[in-house]
């Protein structure tokens, strides 16, 4: 399940560092707004979960591009980041119901 998230994001893609904004997130991927990403590009992402001190560090691949909006499927998320992400999603699910 995807939940909304709005946070500043740093993305390293093909040796370029880009800054953007997160839109939605699940345990398997994230929707972001970033300029100039190519489909199938491998990326490294860093962002802080809203209302938390948890910094998420992940790698992934761009699976779709629509203008500045991009869908990224996670390839690797560190163990602590996974726990923080799971907790963030669960809290958003419960507050939405």
Q: Which residues contact 21 (CB under 8 A, 6 or more apart)?
A: 6, 7, 8, 9, 32, 33
The overall pTM is greater than 0.85 = yes
Between the alpha carbon of residue 48 and those of residues 12, 58, 94, the distances in Å are 16, 12, 21
Between the alpha carbon of residue 58 and those of residues 10, 31, 74, 96, 97, the distances in Å are 11, 13, 7, 26, 28
Reply yes or no on whether the pLDDT at 96 is more than 80.
no
Report which of 43, 55, 42 is spatially closest to residue 8, judged by C-alpha positions. Answer: 55
pLDDT band at 97 (very low <50, low <70, confident <90, very high): low
pLDDT band at 35 (very low <50, low <70, confident <90, very high): confident
What percent of the chain shows pLDDT beyond 90?
A: 85
Q: What average pLDDT is seen over the chain?
A: 94
Total number of domains constituting the chain: 1
Q: Which domain holds residue 35?
A: 3-96
DSSP codes, 59-89: EEEEEEEETTEEEEEEEEE-HHHHHHHHHHH
CATH number for position 22: 2.40.10.220
pLDDT tens, position by position, 44-79: 999 999 988 899 999 999 999 999 999 999 999 999
């Amino acid at each position: 399940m995807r939940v909304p998230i709005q946070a500043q994001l740093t993305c390293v893609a093909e040796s370029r560092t880009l800054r953007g904004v997160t839109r939605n997130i699940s345990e398997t991927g994230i929707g972001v707004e970033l300029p100039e990403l190519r489909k199938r590009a491998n990326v490294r992402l860093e962002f802080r979960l809203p209302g938390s001190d948890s910094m998420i560090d992940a790698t992934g691949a761009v699976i779709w591009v629509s203008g500045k909006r991009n869908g990224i499927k996670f390839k690797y998320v560190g163990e602590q980041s996974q726990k923080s992400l799971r907790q963030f999603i669960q809290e958003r699910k419960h507050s939405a119901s």
